[in-house]
C-alpha cells in the first residue's frame, strides 16, 4: 500500500511563450519542475513519483528528477494522454494516486497531505478548489468585431475553481481513464465524474495557482521572493 504522484510536465507552454518547455523555465533560480518535485517530496506522504516529460527533452528532465528518485516517462499529445502514460508506469503496490501539474510550482506541501488524508479517509476522489471571486458570464458563441454577446450571468456562489494535486483511489482513476474518450476532460476528476462517481472538494491554496502566462510567472517569482 503506497502513494504515488504523477507530475504532469509534458506540455510545451504555448501561452507562456518561452523557448523551453514550461517545466524547464526558471522561477527564482530553479526550473519550475524542481519547485514541484520539492513540494511533493517535502509533504512526506509520497512514496513514488512519476514525471511526464516532452518526448524530445527526456535527458534534461531525467537529470532534474534523479535527485528526487522520480521516474520520467514520455508524455502524450494531451494532458489526459500524459496522465495515462504516467498511470502505466506505476508500481503494483500503489493504491492512492495523486495527479499534479508541474506548472503549480508553489503548491504548499500541506496540500498534498490534505488530499492524501481525504482519500485515506474513504473519499475516492479528492480535489482542492477555491471559490470564484469574479462575476462570471456566459456568452453566445462566435463574437464579432471584438465583441461577444452575453447570454447569462452564472451563479458564482455555486462555482469553484479546481486545482491540483487531485487524489484518487488508484482503481477508480484507472477505470476513469480506460473509459474516457481521447481528450474528453481538462482534469482527472472530470473523467471520474463521467463515470457517475462522486468527486469531493477540499479547500485549495492561492499558492497552488497554475503558471500559465508571463504574468503568472512574474507573480510567482514575486511570491517566491526573487526575480525570475
Ligand atoms: N501537460 C502534459 N502533457 C501535455 C499537456 C500538458 O503533461 N500533453 C502538463 C503541463 O506540462 C502542465 C500541466 O499539464 O504542467 C497543465 O497544462 P498547461 O498549464 O496547459 O501547460 P501547457 O500545456 O504546457 O501550456 P499551454 O497549454 O499554454 O501550451
Ligand atoms: Mg495546455
Segment 91-120, tens digit of pLDDT: 999 999 999 999 999 999 999 999 999 999
pLDDT attached to residue 222:
96
Are 75 and 9 within 8 A, CB to CB? Answer: yes
pLDDT band at residue 225, thresholds of 50, 70 and 90? confident
Q: Please check the confidence at residue 228 and state whether its pLDDT lies above 70.
A: no
Q: Please check the confidence at residue 227 and state whether its pLDDT lies above 60.
A: no
Residue 145 CA to ligand 1 center (angstroms) comes to 30
**Looking at residues 198-220, what average pLDDT do you find?**
98
Segment 154-202, tens digit of pLDDT: 999 999 999 999 999 999 999 999 999 888 889 999 999 999 999 999 9
Placement of cell 471584438 in the chain: 146
User: Domain 2-131+161-223, CATH 3.90.550.10 — does that match?
Assistant: yes
DSSP for 156-204, written as a single string? GGG-EEE-S-EEEEHHHHHHHHHHPPTT--SSHHHHHHHTT---EEEE-
Segment 121-163, tens digit of pLDDT: 999 999 999 999 999 999 999 989 999 999 999 999 999 999 9
Which atom of ligand 1 lies closest to the CA of 78? Answer: 8
pLDDT attached to residue 55:
96
Residue nearest to ligand 1 atom 17, measured at CA: 11
Candidate from 13, 14, 25, 79 with most ligand 1 atoms within 8 A of CB, to mutate:
79
pLDDT attached to residue 43:
98
The neighbourhood of ligand 2, an ion, using CB within 5 A, equals 11
Are 165 and 115 within 8 A, CB to CB? Answer: yes
- Rounded CA gap, 142 and 147, in Å? 9
Segment 41-87, tens digit of pLDDT: 999 999 999 999 999 999 999 999 999 999 999 999 999 999 999 99
**What is the residue-averaged pLDDT of the chain?**
96
Which atom of ligand 1 lies closest to the CA of 53? Answer: 7
Residue nearest to ligand 1 atom 1, measured at CA: 11
Residue 147, C-beta contacts closer than 8 angstroms, at least 6 positions apart: none
Segment 3-54, tens digit of pLDDT: 999 999 999 999 999 999 999 999 999 999 999 999 999 999 999 999 999 9
pLDDT attached to residue 226:
53
Amino acid at each position: 500500500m503506497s502513494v504515488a504522484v504523477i507530475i504532469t510536465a509534458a506540455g510545451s507552454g504555448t501561452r507562456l511563450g518561452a523557448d523551453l518547455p514550461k517545466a524547464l523555465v526558471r522561477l527564482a533560480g530553479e526550473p519550475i519542475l524542481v519547485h514541484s518535485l520539492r513540494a511533493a517530496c517535502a509533504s512526506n506522504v509520497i512514496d513514488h513519483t512519476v514525471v511526464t516529460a516532452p518526448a524530445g527533452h527526456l535527458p534534461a528532465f531525467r537529470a532534474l528528477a534523479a535527485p528526487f528518485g522520480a521516474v520520467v516517462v514520455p508524455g502524450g499529445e494531451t494532458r489526459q494522454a500524459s496522465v495515462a502514460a504516467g498511470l502505466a508506469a506505476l508500481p503494483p503496490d500503489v493504491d492512492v494516486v495523486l495527479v499534479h501539474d508541474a506548472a503549480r510550482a508553489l503548491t504548499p506541501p500541506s496540500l498534498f497531505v490534505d488530499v492524501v488524508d481525504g482519500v485515506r479517509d474513504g473519499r475516492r476522489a479528492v480535489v482542492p478548489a477555491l471559490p470564484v471571486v469574479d462575476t462570471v458570464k456566459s456568452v453566445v458563441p462566435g463574437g464579432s468585431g471584438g465583441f461577444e454577446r452575453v447570454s447569462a450571468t452564472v451563479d458564482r456562489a455555486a462555482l469553484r475553481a479546481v486545482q491540483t494535486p487531485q487524489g484518487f483511489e488508484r482503481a477508480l482513476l484507472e477505470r476513469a481513464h480506460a473509459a474516457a474518450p481521447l481528450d474528453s476532460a481538462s482534469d482527472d476528476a472530470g473523467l471520474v465524474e463521467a463515470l457517475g462517481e462522486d468527486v469531493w472538494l477540499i479547500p485549495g491554496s492561492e499558492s497552488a495557482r497554475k503558471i500559465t502566462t508571463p504574468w503568472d510567472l512574474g507573480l510567482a517569482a514575486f511570491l517566491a521572493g526573487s526575480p525570475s
